Amino acid sequence: MTKSKPQPVNRKEPGYRDLNERIGDYGEVETTLTAAEIREQAARCMSCGTPFCHDYACPLANVIPEINELIIEDRWEEALELLLSTHPFPEFTARICPALCEGSCVKGIHDQPVTIRQVEKMIIEKGFAEGWVKPQPPGARRSEHIAVIGSGPAGLAAAEGLNKFGFNVTVYEKDLNPGGLLFYGIPNFKLEKDIVRRRINLMKEEGVIFECGVNVGSDISFNYLIRRFEAVLLTGGTQLPRDLDIPGRDLDGVIFAMQFLRSQNKRITGEPLLHGEDIAAKDKNVVIIGGGDTGSDCLGTALRQGAKNVYQFEILPRLPESRPEDTPWPLWPRIERVSSSHLEGGIRRWSVTTKKFEGDVEGRLKRLHCSEVEWVSEGGRQVPVEIEGSSFEVDADLAILAMGFLGPGPDPLADQLNLVRDQRGNLAVDDRHMTSMPGIFSAGDMACGQSLVVRAMADGKTAAEDIAEYIDSRGRER
């Protein structure tokens, strides 16, 4: 059959709510296209014989071309089924995924890629709205119990998968609400907490048990775990932020991005702020060090909190606007990305290095000493070299370090069990997700290092399959 010829429409994105409006609240900034528009956009998909979006780009291997075909045919419910067959939580990635698929979209070679993320969002939201998304508890329960420690993207995905297999799943979360990074890390204006709660509730209805406020390893012991559970999955994420070891680092007002974002998320959900968590940018000069997504999240948050001035410094040079030669298609293009927050204000600078935090007598941050750098090749590597005479200072009351993460960091349970770590400090696992101790598994950033939510979910999902296989194989051995 000849495939329907792609309609000659251009890529259309929904854009954001009006700037003046959205800056005044923490509600989701992105608007949505209409269903008709989505169908038009889906019809731009070419149903590639070798879809690069599907498996090469998408860690979950969403069957994007087939989903799009169903949308063109107006078969939303079937599209939802197909989407859910590979993807446990489309509502999260539909909001916060950088959409690797779009970076590899064949349509994007000489044109704009298909708006795959928007299609996904429409499908899942329509699914919730129409009541198609229903709890799907397993038809029968197995006798085995599994503990998942950590309720971030990896932990949730694993728990969901394990539960579907019929296992009794208990998720332990050290915070008061499940969701991990989804709940505490990502700003509400990108992912509203209700969206997370909606999924958690669904999982609860399916029979997953969430135990929050429990720090496994200190609150409950390993011995308890091993008695109760046939397998344990560690999905603690990457907790250790990269630090900036320069003079003045210990000044009051120099904080990590996660502290900042976390405090705001807690405010929104009404959770009590602990000592030192009450951080706000209101009327402050804020400098965010780090030009990535987290930095941009801080930027949007700071603006909403009413910061006086916000700067975002990045040590790397500014990236080109269109795909450069060093990341040819279908690689993820290294281009400058402008988030909704960037459109809301603040000043972005590139090739800037921070040399010193300067404080006042009370030890409060007052000023940053920076300079511009240029990147030169040294022994095959690009290294920054300070440009002479480019030093400058900038007044700052709050410096937020958003420079990425180094690994899981100390973990009570892992440390107690002396689980082997890899060179980068992540938990070492074999190709079946098992750590150095049989029966103890790890997935997500904790095992793989800092990455995207979608990768963590994919990893959690396969970890669930591996654990099921592990339990089955033990059963066979007996």
Site for another protein, rule CB under 8 A: 1-3, 5-6, 46-52, 54-57, 61, 63, 65-66, 69, 73, 75, 81-82, 84-85, 104, 106-107, 109-111, 136-142, 164-166, 328-331
Tell me how far apart the alpha carbons of residues 41 and 8 are, in angstroms, rounded to a whole number: 10
The three state secondary structure string of 375-441 is EEEECCEEEEEECCCCCEEEECCEEEECCCEEECCCCHHHHHCCCCECCCCCECCCCCCECCCCCEE
Report the residue number, 49 or 276, with the smaller CB distance to another protein. Answer: 49
Residue 341 dihedral angles phi and psi, to the nearest 5°: -65, -40
Report the residue number, 329 or 375, with the smaller CB distance to another protein. Answer: 329
Report, in Å, the least distance between residue 458 CB and another protein.
Answer: 11
Report, in Å, the least distance between residue 86 CB and another protein.
Answer: 8
Report, in Å, the least distance between residue 246 CB and another protein.
Answer: 38
Report the residue number, 2 or 322, with the smaller CB distance to another protein. Answer: 2
Question: For residue 252, what are the β-bridge partners?
Answer: 364
Report, in Å, the least distance between residue 55 CB and another protein.
Answer: 4
Report the residue number, 24 or 135, with the smaller CB distance to another protein. Answer: 135
Report the residue number, 79 or 289, with the smaller CB distance to another protein. Answer: 79
Report, in Å, the least distance between residue 410 CB and another protein.
Answer: 37
Residues 392 and 370 sit within 8 Å (Cβ to Cβ): yes
Report the residue number, 287 or 471, with the smaller CB distance to another protein. Answer: 471
Report the residue number, 63 or 401, with the smaller CB distance to another protein. Answer: 63
Long-range contacts of the stretch 197-202 (C-beta < 8 A, 24+): 198/91, 198/128, 199/89, 199/91, 199/92, 199/156, 200/156, 202/133, 202/135
Report, in Å, the least distance between residue 56 CB and another protein.
Answer: 3
352-359 and 365-378 beta bridge pairing = antiparallel
Which string of DSSP letters, residue by residue, matches 21-51? HHTTS-S--B----HHHHHHHHTT----SS-
Tell me how far apart the alpha carbons of residues 454 and 116 are, in angstroms, rounded to a whole number: 14
Helical ranges in 220-292 per DSSP H: 222-228, 257-269
Q: Which of 194, 235, 129, 214 is nearest to 453 (CA)?
A: 235
Report the residue number, 81 or 277, with the smaller CB distance to another protein. Answer: 81
Tell me how far apart the alpha carbons of residues 343 and 333 are, in angstroms, rounded to a whole number: 21
Report, in Å, the least distance between residue 72 CB and another protein.
Answer: 12
Residues 416 and 234 sit within 8 Å (Cβ to Cβ): no
Identify whether 330 is preceded by a cis peptide bond (ω within 30 of 0).
yes
The Cβ of residue 245 has, within 10 Å, a number of other Cβ atoms equal to 6
Q: Which of 438, 437, 430 is nearest to 462 (CA)?
A: 430
Report the residue number, 65 or 384, with the smaller CB distance to another protein. Answer: 65
Tell me how far apart the alpha carbons of residues 143 and 185 are, in angstroms, rounded to a whole number: 35
Report, in Å, the least distance between residue 48 CB and another protein.
Answer: 5
Report, in Å, the least distance between residue 91 CB and another protein.
Answer: 16
The Cβ of residue 320 has, within 10 Å, a number of other Cβ atoms equal to 14
Tell me how far apart the alpha carbons of residues 40 and 65 are, in angstroms, rounded to a whole number: 14
Burial 260-287 (b: 16+ CB within 10 A, else e): bbbbbbbbebebeeeeeeebbbeebbbb
Report the residue number, 47 or 339, with the smaller CB distance to another protein. Answer: 47
Report, in Å, the least distance between residue 365 CB and another protein.
Answer: 46
Report, in Å, the least distance between residue 41 CB and another protein.
Answer: 16
Residues 159 and 69 sit within 8 Å (Cβ to Cβ): no
Report, in Å, the least distance between residue 6 CB and another protein.
Answer: 7
Tell me how far apart the alpha carbons of residues 157 and 133 are, in angstroms, rounded to a whole number: 16
Amino acid making up residue 444: G
Report the residue number, 46 or 280, with the smaller CB distance to another protein. Answer: 46
Report the residue number, 141 or 364, with the smaller CB distance to another protein. Answer: 141
381-386 and 365-378 beta bridge pairing = antiparallel
